[in-house]
Amino acid sequence: MVLERLKPPEGSRKKRKRVGRGIGSGHGKTSCRGHKGQNARSGRGTKAGFEGGQMPLQRRLPKRGFRNPLKEPVRIIHLRDLNRFPPESIVEPQTLYEAGFCKKGEKIKLLSDGDLQHPLTIRVHKVSEAARRKVEAASGRIEVIPS
């Protein structure tokens, strides 16, 4: 492969429409805007969703539900996912990030889905009671990180 010979696949690049460059171009005179009217003027047209003065669709539809702006996003991790870590290891948010379970800086909650095969030390922000019991039954430890 030679870098200077690379070119995009056929049909993936399209030439932009050059308007207002004479009648021979096919896009002259009105520059594809038609005659007069709001969309023919400079400053051009209306915002997205405008329906000519009719009440727009996004305002006609009822509002539903509530989004709490103070809700902290929490990443759910199940016990069955932790079996990939070696026995006696420490599983913490940084370890889970490196393994691809969560994004950096996310809060993590451990749930009890599945079983833990070997003892681990698990450091998470939140943990369900059932998950705590299963980890302790497998001779592991849970440490709750203060949020």
Q: What are the extents of the domains in the chain? A: 74-144
Tell me the pLDDT of the chain averaged across its residues.
92
Q: Region of 13 please: left (phi>0), alpha (psi -120 to 50) or beta.
A: beta
- Given the candidates 3.100.10.10, 3.30.70.1560, 1.25.40.10, 3.40.50.2300, the CATH classification of the domain at 74-144 is 3.100.10.10
For the whole model, what pTM was predicted? 0.56
User: Given a cut of 90, is residue 35 above it in pLDDT?
Assistant: yes
Is 114 exposed, middle or buried (CB count within 10 Å of its CB: 0-12, 13-18, 19+)? middle
> pLDDT at position 46, please?
86
Residues 110-120 have a mean pLDDT of 92
User: What is the model's pLDDT at position 37?
Assistant: 87
Give me the torsion for CA of 100, 101, 107, 108, rounded to 10°: -150
Record the tokens describing residue 139, joined without a space: 């001779």
Question: Quick one: which H or E segment has residue 74?
Answer: strand 74-78
Q: Name the nearest CA neighbour of 121 among 113, 129, 110, 130.
A: 110
Under a CB-based contact definition with an 8 Å cutoff, are residues 121 and 87 in contact? no
Whole-number CA gyration radius for the chain = 29
Three-class DSSP category at 12: coil
